[in-house]
Every structure is written in structure tokens, then in C-alpha cells.
Structure 1
Amino acid sequence: MTSKKNIFKFVVFTLLLCVSNSFSQSNKQKELEERRQELRQEIQKINQLQQENKSKQKSQLSLIENYNYKISVLNNLISVTNQQANLITREINSNQKKITKLREDLTILKEDYAAMIVKSYKNKNQQSRIMFLLSSNDFKQAYKRLQYMKQYSDHQREQGQEIKAKSEELQKINANLLKQKAEKQKLVAENREVQKTLEKERKEHEILMASIKKNINIYSAQISKKQQEANRIDREIERIIREAIAKSNKKAGNSKSSSNFALTPAEEKLASNFISNKGKLPWPVEKGYVTVRYGTQPSPIDRSLTIKSNGVRIATEKNAKVRAVFNGEVSKIIVIKNSNPMVMIKHGNYITVYKNLSKVYVKEGDMVSTKQDIGEVFTNPSNGDTILNFIIYKNVDPQNPAEWIYKM
């Protein structure tokens, strides 16, 4: 009895495991397809923005950044598509095993069913059945024989239904198998095209890098100068934030020096709402892609040089509107020598900074709402670059925008 229970438990566990694996594979396939579509849209966005600025003579630095980003997206797309194709291959193999097992089961079922039909045909004579019952030694045996005849008939009917069900299941799996094979062929074909595009981008990247290396010292000097300028602006922003912190602490009657904002109950609530939207904040521009990410990273031109980015650089379209990523108060419109205007918005003890604007629509003290236009991104007239620099601070500490902005 215990042995039968253990066998039953094992069968149930195996079935549950199969169902769980099936759901897991289905969810994984769905996630991969969503990611693949996102990457394809990203490439379309890059192509569209590059096409709009095609007439402009891009700087070598901008071109390298664009190539690097596009190549990384193409690599990601190929990787995700390969994962999808591999998952479909596993599903195809699993379905082929199921088909083999079902065919074996059907062969046995049909043989048993055929034997039953033959036996039923031989015993279908009503007189034979009556004689079978009347030849019983007693009533108890006659009753058992009657039950046997009923069970045999029921089993025959169930056998027929099982054959029908397994045949339908086999047809369904076969149809699904054909669909999966078609999906895999489509993915493989698309991947070949993406790989061709990737090779083309890589060759152009290599040609450009070869021309840059001839004058690497000039470009290295340009990179160092740009980094120095970025550091100067970042120091000024930090100084302004520290002044705002000191002001808030003084207002709250906190005489001790602090690197954190003293918040009112309303500001605490705003900061809490800002935190609860981490990973869900909208992009500061409607269209765009990140060309330089947050953190310290090697220069794409001279790997011996490092670039420190307190935020992200977003390439966007000409005359692009800049949007507040969350409700808040415009705490400062920053204008620094040799730099385009910046807008600083306070969200409790969090601050978002929008750099390199050509127009500013708001003024200090304005309350803004999520996705409200606050200005326009500056477009460099010499090369057509329209770049927004976007930073998030918690008090004076810069944060990684990719962790806050939706799908960045």
C-alpha cells in the first residue's frame, strides 16, 4: 500500500514539475520577446535620429559614441534573439519526445482496442451473454459476471475516448511544433540581417578609429579638456546644492553643518513618493538614447583616459522638449560661463538637473508636475548634436539615472 502511495506521489510530482517547467519556459519566452522588441525599437530610434542629423558634419567623438552605442544594442539584440532561438529549440525537442511517446501510447491503445473489438464481436450475441450469466454457479457469481460485463463495456468506451483524446493532443502538438519551427526560422533569418548590420557598423567604426589614431594626441587633449569642463560644472552644481542644504537647515533651526536637506513634512512626503517611483520615472525627453552612461568609464577613443559622468548623456532630436521627470519645485536656473543654461528641480531631498538647454520655460520657485515641459535641448549648430545631460542627486550624492528612469 505504501509503495502505491509513493508511486502516486512521484507521478503527481512529475506532472507538476512538467507544468511548472512549461509555464516557466512560456514566461521566459515572453520576457525575451518583449526585450527583443525593445531593442529593435531602440535601433529604429537611433537610425531615425541619425537620419535627421545626416546633413550635419558630426565630430569624431560624437560618431564614435554613436557607433559604440549602436554596436552594443545590436550585440544585445543578437544575444536575446539567440536565447529565444535556443529556448524554442529546447521546446521543439521536448515536443518531439512527447510526439514519440504519444505515438507509442497510441499504438498500444489501438492494439488493445482492436483486441477488445474482436472479443466484443465474438461475444456480441445476446444469447451468448445470457448463457454466460445463466451458467453461473450462484447469484453472487452471476452478479459479478454482470458487473464484469458492464466494466468491460465501460473500459472499451474509455479506451476509445482516450485514443481520441491522445490523437487530438498529438495533432495539437504537431501543429505547435510546425509553428515553433517557423518562429525559429524567422528569428534565425532576422538575426542574420542584424549580424550583417553589425558587421557593417563595426567596419565603419574600425575605419573611423584608424583615422583617429593618426592624430590620437589631438583627440586625447580634446577629451581631457571636455572632462575638465564637465568637472568644473559638476563642482558648481554641487556648490549650489550645498548652499541650498545650508539654507534649508538654517530655516529649520539646525545650526550644525550637514550634507543632508532638512525636510518639512510636505517635502518628506514628496521624497517618499519620488523613491516609490524608482525605476518608473519617465525619460526627460520623449525620444532619445543614452550615449554616455553614469559612472567612471574608459574613453571610447583613448582607453588610457577615463571619463567620469555624474549622470547620463542623452542624444535626442532637434528642438526636443525637456520634461520634468517628477513633481517638484524649480530650485535654481543655473547659468555658468561658457555653458548653456541648466534647470535644477527639487523633489524633497532629491534633485534632478537638466543641462545643456537652449530655452528655459520655468523660473525659480515654480512648482512643476511630472512630464511638464521645462525647456528645450540645445542643438550644436556645427555638428547637429542635440544632447541633454541629465543628473539625479540624493542631497549631494549623484545617483545612477538608469536605476530611476523607466527602461533606461
Structure 2
Amino acid sequence: MKFFRAVLFIISVFFVSGVFAQSSSELKKRRDKLTNELEQLNKEYNEVASSKKVSLKQLNILKAKINLREEKIRNINSEVRNLNNQISQSNNTVRSLQAQLDQLKKDYAGMVLFAYRNKSGYNKLMFIFAAKDFNQAYRRLKYLQQFGAYRERQAGYIQNTQKELKEKIQELDKDKKQKSDLLADQEKEKATLGKEKNNQLKEITNLSKHQGTLRKQQRDLRNKIDKANKQIQAVVRREIEQARREAEEKARLAAAKAKAENRAGESKAKTIDKSSTTSEVLNATPEAAKLSNDFLGNRGRLPWPVANGQLVHGFGTYKDAEGITIDNLGYEIRTGDGAAVRAVFDGEVINITDVSGTYLVIIRHGEYFTSYQNLRTVVVSKGQKVNTKQTLGTVATDPSSGEAEVIFGLTKGVTSVDPKLWLTPN
């Protein structure tokens, strides 16, 4: 029984190790992706650095590199923690296997000694013939046979345990080497990160010589974003009021019809009135309510509005290069020039507006609304139903900064929410 309990323990250890290995594999995949993105940014940074054009692009690329490198360092930290768990688990397994092997050897040595003392065929025969009757003699014969088979099994257990112990020690050595390599990579990334932060300070100092031009670029960009955000709020409010009017009118007509047919007060359904909440208004129809539920059901799994992109600024408050505090209501996503911008979920296009030379597209998904700013071209029309990942248009490239960014926003009614909680982790 002790042996089988030990086997079950070893199996459970290998299962836990498999879980760690799977997590480590995902972390390694993420680290490789970050490395590729950093290489691409390095290439773009070198191209921009060779240009004498004064713009914020060089500084923005540096900031993006710093963000990615910090994320890579955090990723490595997670890998190291995983390896520490694996190493700890492997050490426990090695100690358990070693203790099991020592016990098996001790038991086997006892059996060998017993067999040596009773090795002669004469002693075995005497042991059998000394039985009181035939049944006892038969049982003694079977005992000798089973004892021999048990010795063979114990020898097999010892060999298998020695093999498992050797494999586990090799795996432990491999994990330790991997941890050492990761720590070396981490130190290298930290050193590079320090250099990039120094370069950022130098770049800010260099760009400060052209503060007038750069501040105008920033001011124009922020004004454009603010104008688009106000437009989004206005469009959503109009949509809510229109939905309220339609629901109230529908309720009024239903009540009038019921009265005419002598069925006043028959309906128990909740009607929309001035006291109804925004959520009730926007989900007044079965189609809208279903779309809202479907959208909510995909929280954390919505695709990004571009196939490939890096997050420049997330949702919330941050400071720009000039130290100005900015409240960001969406995701500023850096992508390739002319990249396709796509819907993140099924819905209806309710507004397309020109904002300072680029397009803003707003889509309704029941009580949720998504917005896509800074489009150069648009291939959908107002009132059109769109599907998940359907192309809406192409992203515009800012002529002054050289950046191709799409600004994605998400609101529940008129309340802005963090896209991080809804989009698939990039």
C-alpha cells in the first residue's frame, strides 16, 4: 500500500508540473511576441532617427519601446516565478523518489538475505514436506513461488524508480539552467530599459528646442480627440432620446389601442416613460436586449479594432511629454499606415462624422456603443448592420507626426468604460 500511495503522489506531482509547463509555454510565447514587436520598433526608430524632420514620432516610438520592454520584464518575472515553483516541486519529487528508492533497496536487501539463507533446494523441500497436511504443503509451495515473483517485481520497482529519479534530476537541472538564462535576459532588458529612458530624456531635451511646433502638434491632436469625444457623447445622447421617444410612442399607441378595444389595464408589461433608466430605454426592444446580452457575454473576448497594433495610451489619466495631465477615454492604438479598422462586434452604424479631416464611426450594440476615430477612408454607411471583424475603413496617418493611430472608445450608454476589460488580451 505504501508503494501505491507513493506512485499516486508521483503521478499528482507530474500532473501539477504539466500545469506549470503549460503556463510557462504561454509566457514564453508572449515573451517571443514582445521581442518581435521590440525589434520592429527598433527598426522604425532607426528610420525616424535618420530623418531630420521635427516630430513627436521618435519620442512616441521610444515611449512604446519602454512600455513593451517593461512588460517583457514583468513577463520574465512571471516565468521565473513559474520556474521557482517547478524547481521547488521537482526538489520535493526528487526527495520523495530518493526516500522511496532507499526503502525499496532496504526491503530488497532483506529479501535477498532471506533468500540467501534459504537458497538450497533441500531447505525449500524440507519447508514444504514439514507441512502438517497436503493443503499446508500446497500453500507453502505457492508462498515460495509468490516470494520469487515479488522479488522480481521489487527489482523492477527499483529500476523504474531509479529511472524516474534520473529523469527528474535532469529536468531539475534543465529548469535551473533556464532560470539562469532568464535572469541573464532580465538583467540585459533592465540595462537596455535604462538606456532607453536616458534616450527619452535626451529626446525630450532635443525636441524642446522646437517646443512651438511640437506643442502645436500635441494641441491639434488633443483638440481633435476632444472634439471627437464630444461628438460621441452628443450622438449617444441623441440615440438614447430617440429610443426613448420611440418607446414612449409605442407604449402610447398600445395603450390607445387597448382602450379602443376595451382592454385598458390588461397589459402588465413595463412601459418606457420619463422615469425609465438609460439601460431600460436602450433595451426596450427584444432585438436590442439580445444584442446587449450577447455583447456582455463576450466581455474579455472582443477582437481588437486592428489586426496588428500596439497600445500607445490606455484608458485613464496620464501625462504627456510636456507634463500635461490628460484624461483618456479610450485606447490609442498604434498600427501600420493604411491598416484596416474593423468592428469589434455585431451592431448598427449610427453615425459617421468628419472630425478635422478624418472620420469618426460610431456603432451601437444594444445599450453599448463603440467608436473608431481617425479613419482616412470609410467603407460602411449610416444605418448599415455590421458583423464582428467587418472592415469599417482604413486608419489615417498624421502628416505632422507620421503616426498611424486609431482611437477606440467604448461606452455603456453615455458612460465610458475601460476597453481593457472587454478586448482580448493582445
Which stretch has the larger CA shift, 200-209 or 144-153? 144-153
TM-score, length of structure 2 as denominator length:
0.79
Q: Partner letter of residue 362 of structure 1?
A: V
SS state at 1:335 partner: strand
Partner of residue 396, structure 2: 378
State the alpha-carbon separation in 1 of the partners of residues 242 and 180 from structure 2.
64
Partner of residue 259, structure 2: none
Of the three residues 287, 290, 310, the one matched with 2:311 is 290
In the alignment, structure 1 residue 244 sits paired with structure 2 residue 239: yes
Partner of residue 131, structure 1: 126
Structure 1 residues 344-376: Cα deviation after superposition (integer angstroms, max 9, x where no partner): 122222221111121121221222222222111
Partner of residue 278, structure 1: 299
Q: Contact 1:333 / 1:344 at 8 angstroms: preserved in 2?
A: yes
Q: Contact 1:57 / 1:382 at 8 angstroms: preserved in 2?
A: no
Partner of residue 158, structure 1: 153
State the alpha-carbon separation in 1 of the partners of residues 418 and 146 from structure 2.
71
Partner of residue 342, structure 1: 360
Partner of residue 374, structure 2: 356
Partner of residue 254, structure 2: none
Q: Return 5+ residue gaps in structure 1 as ranges.
A: none
Alpha carbons of structure 1 residues 90 and 247: separation in structure 2 relative to 1, 3 Å? closer
State the alpha-carbon separation in 1 of the partners of residues 38 and 197 from structure 2.
15
Which stretch has the larger CA shift, 271-280 or 52-61? 52-61
Q: Contact 1:58 / 1:384 at 8 angstroms: preserved in 2?
A: no
Alpha carbons of structure 1 residues 372 and 48: separation in structure 2 relative to 1, 3 Å? farther
Q: Partner letter of residue 269 of structure 1?
A: K
Q: How many Å apart are 1:33 and its aligned residue?
A: 3.2
Q: Contact 1:45 / 1:288 at 8 angstroms: preserved in 2?
A: no
In the alignment, structure 1 residue 390 sits paired with structure 2 residue 408: yes
Q: Partner letter of residue 229 of structure 2?
A: D
Structure 1 residues 30-81: Cα deviation after superposition (integer angstroms, max 9, x where no partner): 4533443443354355446656766666766544443333223212212221
Partner of residue 73, structure 1: 68
Partner of residue 31, structure 2: 36
Q: Contact 1:296 / 1:309 at 8 angstroms: preserved in 2?
A: yes
In the alignment, structure 1 residue 92 sits paired with structure 2 residue 87: yes
Structure 1 residues 287-331: Cα deviation after superposition (integer angstroms, max 9, x where no partner): 21111111223x13344x321111111111111111121222221
State the alpha-carbon separation in 2 of the partners of residues 388 and 49 from structure 1.
18
SS state at 2:372 partner: strand
State the alpha-carbon separation in 2 of the partners of residues 14 and 114 from structure 1.
25
Aligned sequence identity (%): 30
Alpha carbons of structure 1 residues 211 and 127: separation in structure 2 relative to 1, 3 Å? same
Q: Return 5+ residue gaps in structure 2 as ranges.
A: 250-271
Alpha carbons of structure 1 residues 95 and 246: separation in structure 2 relative to 1, 3 Å? closer
Which stretch has the larger CA shift, 98-107 or 198-207? 98-107
TM-score, length of structure 1 as denominator length:
0.82
Q: Partner letter of residue 301 of structure 1?
A: A
Of the three residues 285, 288, 293, the one matched with 1:264 is 285
Partner of residue 399, structure 1: 417
Alpha carbons of structure 1 residues 116 and 12: separation in structure 2 relative to 1, 3 Å? closer
Count of residues paired in the alignment: 399
Of the three residues 294, 309, 313, the one matched with 2:328 is 309
Partner of residue 262, structure 2: none
SS state at 1:80 partner: helix
Q: How many Å apart are 1:138 and its aligned residue?
A: 6.3
Alpha carbons of structure 1 residues 51 and 346: separation in structure 2 relative to 1, 3 Å? farther
State the alpha-carbon separation in 1 of the partners of residues 52 and 422 from structure 2.
34
Which stretch has the larger CA shift, 57-66 or 370-379? 57-66
Alpha carbons of structure 1 residues 178 and 236: separation in structure 2 relative to 1, 3 Å? same
Q: How many Å apart are 1:381 and its aligned residue?
A: 2.1
Q: How many Å apart are 1:379 and its aligned residue?
A: 0.9
Q: Partner letter of residue 347 of structure 1?
A: H
Of the three residues 170, 173, 190, the one matched with 2:165 is 170
Which stretch has the larger CA shift, 136-145 or 273-282? 136-145
User: Which fold has the larger relative contact order, with Cα–Cα distance below 8 Å and residues 6 or more apart in sequence?
Assistant: 1
Q: How many Å apart are 1:176 and its aligned residue?
A: 1.9
Q: How many Å apart are 1:282 and its aligned residue?
A: 1.4
State the alpha-carbon separation in 2 of the partners of residues 246 and 59 from structure 1.
46
Q: Contact 1:56 / 1:384 at 8 angstroms: preserved in 2?
A: no
State the alpha-carbon separation in 1 of the partners of residues 165 and 416 from structure 2.
58
Partner of residue 300, structure 1: 320
Alpha carbons of structure 1 residues 345 and 136: separation in structure 2 relative to 1, 3 Å? closer
Structure 1 residues 200-239: Cα deviation after superposition (integer angstroms, max 9, x where no partner): 3122112224446778899778756754553333223211
Partner of residue 78, structure 2: 83
SS state at 2:358 partner: coil
Of the three residues 178, 181, 200, the one matched with 1:183 is 178
Q: Contact 1:58 / 1:385 at 8 angstroms: preserved in 2?
A: no
Alignment of 1:43-54 (within 5 A): 43-44=38-39, 46-47=41-42, 50=45
